[in-house]
Amino acid sequence: MKEKILFILLLVININIDSQIFKEPYYFVGPDEMHVYKKSNDTLYTSTAFSVKLPETTKYREHYKIWSVKENPSDITIMKLENLDSIPLTTDPYPEDRFRIFVFKKNSEKEAVLINDIGHLTKQELANYNTDTIQSKKSIGMKLYSLSYMKELMKLKKVVSKSDVDKINNELNNPKYLNLIEDYKKENKLFDPYASILAADLINTACLNLGYSPIGASFSMNIINSDKKEKEKIIKEFYKRLSQ
């Protein structure tokens, strides 16, 4: 009986799955690759991308059924989800704790931040979770750029020389970035054991402050600082692939 009531409740909250934040795909520009969040009807897809070309819906890393979307006046979007991907080579391919909650903060039409990822919830825990307690004044987490903004960023100057790298490194030595790091340490609620999200945010922010495109910047910096031969060729081919 309880399961039946719970199922009815989930059907009710499933009515509201519209979200202003995912009218188009959003990208996380990581140090090595990009991650895309794309909503299609009542499904949220996450994909790994190596170009700004929109990934096919059939090619995804994970996908989730959207049970509900709640938005509040502080630009917080709370998305209740069910992971639809089975776990291979296990006797429990669809565990009971396959439900989770993504919390996004919208900074603008161009930018949003995944500020929390509450995972390993059962269906009942998902239904009973009091999302009214979720608030955040700061946008600390995984910064996401809309697809239309990504296309704008691709038009900015690219990191192609040692001089470009030096400018970015000098910018990162500005004390204001220490404040970003301290805020991240205090406020971050995402799993980031290697601080890759933080590193990406720092470099992306520095690039934007200097007028560089953050897309591909980390990769180019690593190539330029390496002992690889034909650096210019590698970087040129890399940027060509980004736009394909």
pLDDT above 70: residue 47:
yes
The region of weakest confidence among 11-20, 57-66, 176-185 is 11-20
Please tell me the predicted confidence (pLDDT) of residue 125.
Answer: 97
Please tell me the predicted confidence (pLDDT) of residue 17.
Answer: 62
**Sequence spans of domains, the chain:** 2-150, 154-242
pLDDT above 90: residue 136:
no
pLDDT tens for each residue of 59-117:
788 999 999 999 887 789 999 999 999 988 888 899 999 999 999 999 988 999 999 99
Please tell me the predicted confidence (pLDDT) of residue 238.
Answer: 92
How far is Cα 20 from Cα 134, in angstroms, rounded to an integer? 18
pLDDT tens for each residue of 208-240:
999 999 999 999 999 999 999 999 999 999 999
Asked if 115 and 141 count as a contact pair (C-beta separation under 8 A), the reply is yes
The region of weakest confidence among 12-16, 20-24, 92-96, 220-224 is 12-16
How far is Cα 214 from Cα 25, in angstroms, rounded to an integer? 18
Of 231 and 5, the structure prediction assigns the larger pLDDT to 231
The structure's pTM equals: 0.89
To the nearest whole number, what is the mean pLDDT of the chain?
89
HSE (side-chain half, CA atoms, 13 Å) at 63:
13
The region of weakest confidence among 88-92, 191-195, 203-207 is 88-92
